[in-house]
Structure formats: C-alpha cells, structure tokens
Structure 1
Amino acid sequence: MSAYWVARSRIIDPVEYKKYTDLVPEIIAKHHGNVLARGGKFQIMEGPETFHRFVVIEFPTMEDALRCFNSKEYQHAAEYRRNGAGEVENVIIEGGDATVR
C-alpha cells in the first residue's frame, strides 16, 4: 500500500535551506519516492499560518518512506535545515482509509 510523506515548512535562512533542498530529490528517487507537490501555490484553509512551503511525496510502501527518512543520506541533508535554516513538520502516513473495515 502506498505511503505519503507530507512536509510543512517555514524557511528561515534560504541559502542554508537550499543546501538541503538541492540534495533531497536524489535521495527521494533512490528510495522510489515520487514528488506529487513541492513548493507550489497554496491556500491555507484552516489552522495556523506558520508554514509556507508544502511537499507531498508518494512512496510504494510505508517501509520505503521510513527507509528514506531514516537513511544516512537524508539525515545528513536534513542537518542543513535543522541547524536553524528552517522549521519543518514531517508526517508519513499510509494510504487508504484505516477507519473502514
């Protein structure tokens, strides 16, 4: 079953953040991810307006998504934004409706 990595971010230091975003597409591809949306036009319908960059990535399975996030390469790239270049919320969710039995 597909899984989706959803990220919401606020860029604080664009130069340092770009060091992160320059590395990530290759890492995602290596783990069979497909970017569905990245940094495009958006409209916040409800909730806080903290984040102004949104990313949705589809992976074949939850395991692929988790393996990508936990990979040495991704963790290295994420250090650029974690050192103050941005604030990010990452969520990985399995596709489908788990409430339907």
Structure 2
Amino acid sequence: MPAFWLARSLINDPVAYKRYTDQVPAIIAQYGGKVLARGGKFQVMEGPEKFKRFVVIEFPDFDSGVRCFQSDEYNEAARHRRENGAGEVETVILEAGEFTK
C-alpha cells in the first residue's frame, strides 16, 4: 500500500537549505520515492500560517518512507538544514489507508 511523506517547512537560510534540497531527490529515488509536489502555489485553509513550503512524496509502502527518512544519507543531507536553524521542518509519513467511494 502506498505511503506519503508530507513535509511543511520554513526556510530561514536559503543558501544552506539549498545544500539540503540539492541532495534529497537522489536519496528519495533510492527508496522508490516519487515527488508529487514540491514548493508551488498553496493556500493554508486552516491552522497556523508559519510554514511557507510544502512537499508531498509518494513511496511504494510505509516502511520505504521511514527507511528513507532514517537513512544515513538522508540525515547527512538534512544536517545542512538542521544546523544553525537554516530551516524548520515538520515531516509525517502517512500510509494511504483504505477509503470508500
């Protein structure tokens, strides 16, 4: 069952944050991930308007998304946004689940 990596972020240092975003697509691909949305136009419908960037990535399954996020490669890349407050991010991995028509 597919799973989705949902992230919302606030970029405080665009130069340092770009060092992170330049590395991440290749890492995501290693785990079967496919970026569905990254940046772009958005409208907050409810809740705080703190975050200004949103990302949705589809993985073939929940475990693949978790393994990607917990991988050494990803955490090395994420170091660029975590150090010195270059970016604030909230990330959730969500299994697609069942839904009815």
TM-score range, shorter chain: over 0.9
Q: In the alignment, residue 88 of structure 1 is paired with which amino acid?
A: V
- Could you say which residue in structure 1 is the equivalent of 2:88? 87
TM-score, normalised to structure 2, is: 0.94
1:96 Cα offset (Å): 1.6
TM-score, normalised to structure 1, is: 0.94
Query: How many Å separate the matches in 2 of 1:13 and 1:92?
Result: 25
Aligned residues: 99
1:71 and 2:71 equivalent?
A: yes
What is the Cα-based RMSD across aligned positions, in Å? Answer: 1.2
Query: How many Å separate the matches in 1 of 2:81 and 2:48?
Result: 21
Identity of aligned residues (%): 65
- Could you say which residue in structure 2 is the equivalent of 1:45? 45
5+ long unaligned stretches in structure 1: none
- Could you say which residue in structure 2 is the equivalent of 1:31? 31
Query: How many Å separate the matches in 2 of 1:96 and 1:43?
Result: 25
1:64 Cα offset (Å): 0.5
1:21 Cα offset (Å): 0.2
Structure 1 runs (4+) deviating above 4 angstroms are: none
1:97 Cα offset (Å): 3.7
Q: In the alignment, residue 59 of structure 2 is paired with which amino acid?
A: F
1:8 and 2:36 equivalent?
A: no
5+ long unaligned stretches in structure 2: none
